[in-house]
Amino acid sequence: MSTRPPVHVSEAEMAVQRDSMCRIAEMPHRPQTYHVVTYGCQMNAHDSEKLAGMLEQMGLTAAPDREEADFVIFNTCCVRDNAERRALGNVTWLKEIRKVRPEMMIAVCGCMIQEPGMAERILKQYPFVDLAFGTANLHRFPSLFERVLTDRQRVVSIDGDDVIAEDVPVRRLRGDAAYLTIMYGCDNFCSYCIVPYVRGRERSRRMADILREAEALRDTGVKEIMLLGQNVNSYRGEDGEGFPQLLRAVDALGIERIRFMTSHPKDLSDDLIAAMAECEHVLPQFHLPVQAGNDDILRRMNRRYTRAEYLDKVRRLREAVPGIGLTTDIIVGFPGETEAQFADTLSLVDEVGYDSAFTFIYSPRTGTAAAKMPDQIPAEVSTERIQRLIALQEKRQREQMTRFVGQEEKVLVEGLSRRSDRQVSGKGGHGISVTFPGNEKDIGQIVPVRITGLKNNTLSAERKES
Ligand code: SAH
Ligand code: SF4
Ligand code: F3S
């Protein structure tokens, strides 16, 4: 890992961006409304909140539908082929709408733009795209957009160093729960994964900046924050502070609920497990992507832990935080995966008993080590395997969820239930969806409930009189 301190974008550069936002706000013929379409992970969701923040400073207001907006931004993901295809498909679809509304402007940004050759492809194949910029240039969006508006020319910008930009305006989607980035990039280079190539090298924000942001969120009444990083365990503050230390410091601020995402099993430390147990506000939940249950596959994935080491960490987490909600990510059909190796993944899933699992069919990504490996698995084999995996996980999930029946939980209500407007649903402290009687007034509130049973993949509950 590099020991160079991360480069922060200078105050002068941020002032340039602020000036651009002011000038755009004064332009008489600029777009009046915007719509951001987001693909991918929480990082991208939070980047979209920054785009919205900048756009509002430029005087634009949010349009609920993309067809109605004067300016549409696609914030793309490329982690799997289908994510990429969906994004490009939707961009093309908008081309038709632009025939009816020629003044509409379109931008494409995010991880996909950082892929080698993608910017040129966008220029050639998508002539109706006005602006394309990568993740490294997010903070420069105002000056790039100003260039499009003043020069009436297409702008593509993908170069940029791995920097940290503080004080980018943010327009958060929710007032009760907020994302807070603690680090950017990834240095792990799992052999299947494109993220290190499109998000750059690992760099951590200063602890003081993170705490300042967390305090500000607390003071606006945010009840839950999610600390974000591709591998939060790699967090290194400027004085060498590690993630457990940061977690304890955030916990001390008195925000009601704290979560984090994602944690790599190889460097999940005893100190982090201790911090989880100690910290009053850190929720009893853990997302610990395993990817596969076979040691040979794990080694070729460059995950740098064995099945036994993983299982040992799960055991220690459960000892320290009894009843902890445990979730994971799994890839099936990694190159060369045999039936016996896949059976090891099934047996691991059976053994752990996850509360939920995100399962993916391996998707070759150009430029990654695994894309060049022999014995790529045919789609029909992977499809059949993932079906078996999902069936097993659903069964284990139902079994695991019964441990909550009769227990009390505090639920942060996200909205009305999809099935009935006299029911609300949200997440309990263990990260599992809970539905119970309620109405609009509960949205954004933390409500104490008693779990009464399970329905499909959610828990049902009754309100606890407090
Ligand atoms: N940094 C996080 C998240 C990475 S992306 C982590 O390490 O867990 C989220 C998930 O996408 C990964 O955990 C992995 O399961 C999946 N994924 C990444 N690359 C993939 C690929 N090429 N094909 C299929 N799934 C992939
Ligand atoms: Fe990708 Fe691995 Fe980094 Fe996660 S830890 S983002 S899977 S390279
Ligand atoms: Fe996708 Fe980029 Fe996240 S590739 S998963 S949006 S880091």
330 CA closest ligand 1 atom index: 15
Please check the confidence at residue 6 and state whether its pLDDT lies above 80. no
Centre of ligand 1 to C-alpha 330, Å, is 8
pLDDT bucket at 3, cuts 50 / 70 / 90:
low
Tell which atom from ligand 1 comes closest to the C-alpha of 291.
15
> Distance from the CA of 193 to the center of ligand 1, in angstroms?
6
The confidence score (pLDDT) of residue 4 equals: 63
Q: Which ligand has an atom closest to residue 110 CA?
A: 3
- The CB of 264 under 6 Å from ligand 2? The reply is yes
> How many of the other CB atoms lie within 10 Å of CB of 440?
11
- Kindly list the structural domains of the chain, giving each domain's residue range(s) and its CATH number in brackets, ordered by start: 7-161 (3.40.50.12160), 177-403 (3.80.30.20), 405-463 (2.40.50.140)
Q: Is the pLDDT of residue 156 over 90?
A: no
Q: How far is the CA of 47 from the centre of ligand 3 (A)?
A: 11
> In this structure, how many other beta carbons lie within 10 angstroms of the beta carbon of residue 54?
24
pLDDT digits 0-9 by tens, 376-435: 999 999 999 999 999 999 999 999 999 999 999 999 999 999 888 899 999 999 999 999
Residue 302 alpha carbon to ligand 2 centre in Å: 10
pLDDT-derived band at 466 (thresholds 50, 70, 90) equals low
Please name the residue whose Cα sits nearest to atom 3 of ligand 3.
Answer: 41
**What distance in angstroms lies between residue 133's CA and the mean position of ligand 2's atoms?**
22
Query: Mean per-residue pLDDT for 115-135?
Result: 89
Q: Span 460-466, mean pLDDT?
A: 88
The first and second tokens of residue 317, run together, are 């987490």
- In this prediction, residues 62-87 reach a mean pLDDT of 94
Looking at residue 93, its pLDDT comes to 86
Ligand nearest to the CA of 77: 3
Angle between helices 379-401 and 339-352 (to 10 degrees): 10
**Exposed e or buried b for every residue in 345-369, given b needs 16+ CB within 10 A?**
bbebbeebebbbbebbbbbebeebb
Of 2 and 218, the structure prediction assigns the larger pLDDT to: 218
Distance CA 365, CA 77 (A): 12
Mean pLDDT over each residue of the chain, to the nearest integer: 94
- What mean pLDDT do residues 207-227 have? 97
Is residue 230 lining ligand 2, measured as CB closer than 6 Å?
Answer: yes
Give the number of the ligand closest to the Cα of residue 118: 3
Instruction: Give the ligand 3 atom nearest the CA of 135.
Output: 2
The SS3 assignment for 58 reads coil
| Average confidence (pLDDT) over 245-266 | 97
Q: Which residues line ligand 1 (CB under 6 A)?
A: 79-80, 192-193, 195, 230-231, 262, 264, 289, 291, 329, 331, 360, 362-363, 365
Nearest Cα residue to atom 2 of ligand 1: 230
Does ligand 2 have an atom closer than 6 angstroms to the CB of 189? Answer: yes
Ligand at shortest distance from the CA of 288: 1
CA of 69 to the centre of ligand 3 (A): 25
Which protein residue's CA is at the shortest distance from atom 5 of ligand 1? Answer: 79
Q: What average pLDDT does range 80-92 have in this prediction?
A: 90
**Residues paired with residue 309 on neighbouring β-strands, in sequence order:** none
Strands (E) in 15-119, as ranges, are 33-38, 61-62, 71-76, 105-110
Asked whether 66 and 33 are in contact (CB, 8 A), the reply is no
pLDDT for 1 equals 47
Q: What is the percent of the chain with per-residue pLDDT over 70, rounded to a whole number?
A: 98
Nearest CA to ligand 3 atom 1: 77
Using alpha carbons, list the distances in angstroms from residue 23 to 48, 145, 208, 283, 304.
Answer: 22, 11, 32, 44, 50
